[in-house]
């Protein structure tokens, strides 16, 4: 059994996931992250461990997280709770990690997703550097995906 | 028909449950990890299908599949692995342990129905 990556690059992977799960068109844009402004953001993070080590980080404006959650559940925006919106971002990050992992060309495992919510924050993995990143506009909102590579083993 | 959906993500369970309703499953039980799924299966053996995620807190998908296949009262229940895990070695392990088939997330309703059809459980998708 052989699995070829479903896509060639990170932006294409994100567009495929968004089309399949959310059903809303995306426009590629510049990078915006939670540290760039004072709006509320939510981030889903999945660590990748094995031959390749690092993390996949999906940063999403809180407005977009709520809007996407409402759309995917077919409910009103007002009915979206923080818990459910965070679960949505976690699952999106999880699916992104699953699709990106084969692109990294190594045997690795990924963790359960972790979610961070707040304003003006930043985070990375120890010895981490940005390996690849891309930003998108989705209707009037935005999100970005960053692949963080851990430069060396840490204990 | 009865199905058990096992995934730690509420969104993933919602999406799978919505799909199963559209292909005629009348009774769908949800579990957020393997131990909870086993408790559901201990109380009822007449599930036609289990859709199982791989990476979950508590008991993970592979352990759950192994546990299910060690209980011969559940032999007739099909197991579809629905997961972000795409490592061919890992997926082959799951199939060897007793999963009937595998589908990678993100998956469309058509992808899922194709898998169910190959397992004898598919149906016309209803809007």
pLDDT at A4: 47
Does the beta carbon of A85 lie under 8 angstroms from any beta carbon of chain B? no
pLDDT at A1: 39
Contacts of B85 in chain A (CB under 8 A): 98
**Contact at CB, B88 and A87, closer than 8 angstroms:** no
Contacts of A99 in chain B (CB under 8 A): 84, 86, 106
pLDDT at A2: 36
**Contact at CB, B14 and A16, closer than 8 angstroms:** no
| Closest CA of chain A from B91, distance in Å | 9
Tokens 């579809």: give the residue: B80
Q: Say how many C-beta atoms besides its own lie within 10 A of residue A28's C-beta.
A: 11
Q: What is the pLDDT along chain A (155 residues), one digit of tens a residue?
A: 334 455 568 999 999 999 999 998 899 998 888 887 789 999 999 999 988 899 999 999 999 999 999 999 999 999 999 999 999 999 999 999 998 888 887 788 889 999 999 999 988 889 888 889 999 999 889 999 999 999 865 55
The tokens describing A98, both together, are 């699953």
pLDDT at A6: 53
- Burial label for B20, CB within 10 Å (0-12, 13-18, 19+), is buried
In this prediction, residue B126 has a pLDDT band, given cuts at 50, 70 and 90, of low
pTM equals 0.92
Q: Mutate which of A81, A94, A108 to disrupt the B interface (most B C-beta within 10 Å)?
A: A94
Instruction: Identify the H or E element spanning B111.
Output: helix B109-118
CA–CA distance, A89 with A66 (Å, rounded to integer): 9
Peptide bond into A88 cis (omega under 30): no
Average pLDDT over residues B20-26: 93
Q: Please determine, looking at this structure, whether the domain spanning B2-118 carries the CATH number 3.40.50.2300.
A: yes
CA–CA distance, A128 with A147 (Å, rounded to integer): 10
Does the beta carbon of A111 lie under 8 angstroms from any beta carbon of chain B? yes
Summarize pLDDT for B41-95 with one digit per residue, the tens. Answer: 999 889 999 999 999 999 999 999 999 999 999 999 999 999 998 888 889 999 9
Q: Where are the domains of chain B?
A: 2-118
CB A150 within 8 A of CB A53: yes
């Amino acid at each position: 059994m052989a699995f070829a990556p479903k896509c060639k690059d990170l932006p294409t992977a994100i567009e495929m996931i968004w089309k399949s799960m959310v059903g809303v068109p995306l426009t590629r844009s510049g990078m915006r992250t939670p540290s760039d402004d004072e709006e509320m953001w939510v981030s889903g993070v999945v660590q990748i461990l094995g031959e390749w080590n690092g993390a996949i980080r999906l940063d999403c404006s809180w407005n977009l997280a709520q809007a996407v959650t409402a759309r995917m559940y077919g409910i009103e925006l007002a009915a979206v709770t923080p818990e459910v919106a965070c679960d949505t971002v976690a699952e999106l990050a999880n699916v992104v990690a699953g699709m990106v992992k084969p692109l990294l060309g190594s045997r690795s495992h990924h963790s359960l997703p972790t979610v961070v919510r707040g304003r003006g924050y930043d985070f990375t993995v120890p010895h981490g550097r940005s390996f690849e990143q891309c930003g998108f506009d989705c209707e009037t909102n935005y999100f970005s995906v960053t692949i963080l590579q851990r430069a060396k083993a840490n204990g | 028909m009865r199905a058990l959906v096992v995934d730690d993500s509420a969104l993933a369970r919602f999406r799978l449950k919505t799909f199963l309703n559209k292909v005629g499953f009348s009774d769908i039980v949800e579990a957020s990890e393997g131990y909870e799924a086993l408790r559901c299966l201990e109380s009822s053996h007449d599930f036609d299908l289990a859709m199982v995620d791989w990476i979950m807190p508590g008991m993970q998908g592979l352990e759950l599949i192994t546990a299910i296949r060690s209980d011969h009262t559940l032999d007739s229940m099909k197991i579809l692995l629905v997961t972000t895990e795409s490592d061919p070695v890992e997926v082959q392990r799951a199939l060897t342990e007793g999963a009937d088939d595998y589908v990678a997330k993100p998956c469309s309703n058509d992808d899922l129905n194709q898998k169910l059809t190959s397992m004898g459980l598919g149906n016309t998708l209803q809007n």
